Chain A
Amino acid sequence: MTGAELMVKSLEAEDVKYVFGYPGVAICPFYDAILDSEIKTVLIRTEQNAAHSASGMARMTGKPGVCAVTSGPGATNLITGIATAFADSIPLVCITGQVNSELIGSDVFQEADITGAVESFVKYSYLVKDAKELPRIFKEAFYIANSGRRGPVLIDVPIDVQQAEAGDFEYPEEVKLRTYKPTVKGNVLQIKKTINQLEKAKRPLICVGGGVSLSGAQEELKALAEEFRIPVVSTMMGISVMPTEHPLYYGMVGNNGFPWANRAMNEADLIMMVGARVADRAVNQPERVMKDTVLIHIDVDPAEIGKNAGATIPIVGDAKHILKEISEYEMDGEFDGWIKSLDEYRRTMPLTRTPDPAFVDPAEFIRRLSLKLEDNAVYVADVGQNQIWSCKYHVVRNGRFLTTGGMGTMGYSIPAAVGAKLACPDRQVVAVCGDGSFQMSMMELATMSQYGVKVKIIVLKNDYLGMVRQYQHFTYKDRYSVVDIAGNPELEHIAAAYGMKFLSIENMEGLDEKLDELLSKDESCLCRCIIDPMDLV
């Protein structure tokens, strides 16, 4: 077999269903070999989105998403997508073609040192020199990407290595890496200490991050919160771990979070962080919030513990295991008074929005949209004001909420929604973006049309880069610089050009009927909502 055939066989051995990518000469042997496989290929319209689509797929399947692009500009275009996946700990296996190995270093056509360029955004990378090593490298790459703290792994394969004869395919049974042994089970002693501290606590709080979804521990988390009656808040990446309307759930914390959730963080005497980094957007001043607080920090990555806040009890391991182990203990502790006061905060700290009735109110729109969505719908939020509204007002029941909280890459929602929909064709998938983020990925409407991917795209249109405008409003006293995007295309024509249904919502009148029209048929739809350009999150 050739190296390229070994690559495809390896992907088959990993049960890969889709490869997102964009070909070029240096990856052509691979794209030729994949024609003889059951694996489906998706031609994405720009490489960055191949990584985002793979990310959407990975988040829905729990397995690494795969993308394959060519050398040079193909590979460098992929970088933002890789960095996004890295910041959000999403498992990806990214394959890049490379120029002939004899020519590496001589700056030939479409040569880029991609392993060098992505070093600080990948969990690991390989530059393959011998085709015989491909099965071992693929086995390792899938294992590394999807164990421990998840993340992207890049495999750079020179064209001559793809073409080389490399013998029969034999996929290794197991991975042998002496330098990589992620901790799964939590330390028993630390877990006992946790129980002791919980028994002493008067105002305990669980703060969940993206790590809970990545470990597939949503059920365990909910069970633990219910068993011990501990209230829960979440970071942006932790949204959809708990159903929004669960009585013990108080929503998102942080700069853009709910005031009562932040108050809960400030008043708690014990915080159990699960799969969260205590990063700046969630906990603005960790030294202040955590000063007199017992911090139990559960994370699979030991480097995250103590990085932004010193933990009283660090527990390294997989959230699913640890939460289950904690639940097995009996715990005396009664927090109903604390829960009551949190309910009171939520009741008495209303969100003051005064929407202009001439426009669609994005907050109310998102709330009503989410109530109309199917129970297990997948909601993909982009970046900008739209992201914050989505985080605050989307009501999650049994669905998923996907967004990029770490890198905050505009244009994420459409390609990620494409990946999510292909992973779960039976589930409703909506992408909600602004008119700025929409234009960063609108080329993917072609991908949707070509492969029949039925995603509902909602564009909150205000003719501004709203989040930056809002920042300039506060910080530069309305001196707006480079945030006016009035040259926007007419979205109706865009939809028509791609053969998509179009829907326009100009104000709140008859919103429910409009939403029914949007969601009733299993078809892709581009929906434009005109929102107040001066609105603030």
Chain B
Amino acid sequence: MRRIFSVLVENRSGVLSKVAGLFSRRSFNIDSLAVGETEDNAVSLMTIMSSGTEQTLEQIEKQLNKKLDVIKVKTFDESRAVSRELMLVKVKCTKGNRREIMEICEVMKAEIVDMSEHLMILQICDTPDKIKLMLSLLSQISIVEVARTGTLALQKCMDD
């Protein structure tokens, strides 16, 4: 089972390591982790995707709530969330495959944000599934580097 934990934390040094440490200490999985400030610069939001049994997922929530730097924990399933990830991919290109890359970008709603004679950087911002698909499409072409933000998610408006 996979679940998203949306964790509001005090924006202090060391908090990220405390939260990440909790996951490793108790053998909880982190599938993805994204951190950023919120509208209040004293508060950060950590979006953690984790998977495990129902009991483990319940423990994750409870243990997160025990941390004194954690202000609030919200949990929801992927299906109840709007989730996005940003990925930058540097690929090798030749005159021969440039067209093909551009077609992939068009279909996948990705953008070419930089290029040289032999390299291109593509940018895509989409759901985790689309990001996965994009990566598999690009794996036919030679990938040089990949940078991903990790999944950001907010609970759907209807559920909140």
Contact = CB atoms under 8 A, between A and B. Distances in A.
B63 A303 contact: yes
Contacts of B22: 120
A14 interface: no
Contacts of B14: 115-116, 127
A123 B65 contact: no
List of 10 A-B pairs having minimum Cβ-Cβ separation, nearest first: A303-B62, A120-B25, A124-B68, A179-B71, A180-B68, A119-B21, A179-B68, A303-B63, A302-B62, A303-B66
B155 to A, nearest CB: 21
Interface of A: 115-116, 119-120, 123-124, 127, 144, 177-180, 301-303, 306-307, 310
Contact of A306 (B21, B55, B69): B55
Nearest to A121: B25
Contacts of A303: 59, 62-63, 65-66
Nearest to A129: B13
Contacts of B66: 301, 303
6 contacts: A116-B17, A119-B18, A179-B67, A303-B65, A307-B62, A310-B55
Contacts of A144: 68
Nearest to A124: B68
Interface string B57-91: 01100110111111100000000000000000000
A304 to B, nearest CB: 9
Given A178-B71, A179-B70, 11 more contacts: A116-B17, A119-B17, A119-B21, A123-B68, A124-B68, A177-B68, A179-B67, A179-B69, A180-B68, A303-B63, A306-B55
Q: Which of A177, A178, A303, A310 has the most CB of B within 10 A?
A: A303
Interface string B1-41: 00000000010001001100110010000000000000000
Contacts of B18: 119
A302 B71 contact: no
Q: Which of B14, B18, B65, B68 has the most CB of A within 10 A?
A: B68
A116 B21 CA distance: 10
A306 B58 contact: yes
Contacts of A177: 68
Q: Which of A115, A144, A179 has the most CB of B within 10 A?
A: A179
Nearest to A305: B62
Contacts of A123: 68
Main secondary structure of the interface of B (DSSP, over half): helix
A325 B121 CA distance: 66
Nearest to B61: A303
Contacts of A115: 14
Contacts of B68: 123-124, 144, 177, 179-180
B59 A120 contact: no
Contact of A302 (B17, B65, B69): B65
Contacts of B63: 303
A115 B63 CA distance: 19
Contacts of B69: 179
B8 to A, nearest CB: 9
B55 to A, nearest CB: 7
Q: Which of B21, B62, B67 has the most CB of A within 10 A?
A: B62
A271 B17 CA distance: 39
A341 B21 CA distance: 49
A115 B70 CA distance: 17
Contacts of B71: 178-179
Contacts of B67: 179
Contacts of A119: 17-18, 21
B124 to A, nearest CB: 36
Nearest to A127: B14
Given A144-B68, A179-B70, A302-B65, A120 B55 contact: no
A317 to B, nearest CB: 15
B27 to A, nearest CB: 12
Contacts of B55: 306, 310
A144 B69 CA distance: 13
Contacts of A302: 62, 65
Contacts of B25: 120
A127 B18 CA distance: 14
A307 B65 CA distance: 14
B21 to A, nearest CB: 5
A179 B67 CA distance: 8
B10 A307 contact: no
A307 B59 contact: yes
A449 B21 CA distance: 42
A181 B21 CA distance: 23
B59 A179 contact: no
A306 B58 CA distance: 9
A120 B28 CA distance: 14
A284 B135 CA distance: 47
Nearest to A178: B71
Nearest to A307: B59
A359 to B, nearest CB: 44
Interface string B31-56: 00000000000000000000000010
A471 B68 CA distance: 40
A475 to B, nearest CB: 26
A120 B63 CA distance: 12
Nearest to A115: B14
A147 to B, nearest CB: 12
Contacts of B21: 119-120
Nearest to B67: A179
Q: Which of B66, B67, B69 has the most CB of A within 10 A?
A: B66
A526 to B, nearest CB: 40
A307 B55 CA distance: 8
Contacts of A306: 55, 58-59, 62
A124 B25 CA distance: 16
Given A119-B21, A120-B21, A179 B62 contact: no
Nearest to B72: A179
A179 B58 contact: no
A127 B15 CA distance: 13
Nearest to B18: A119
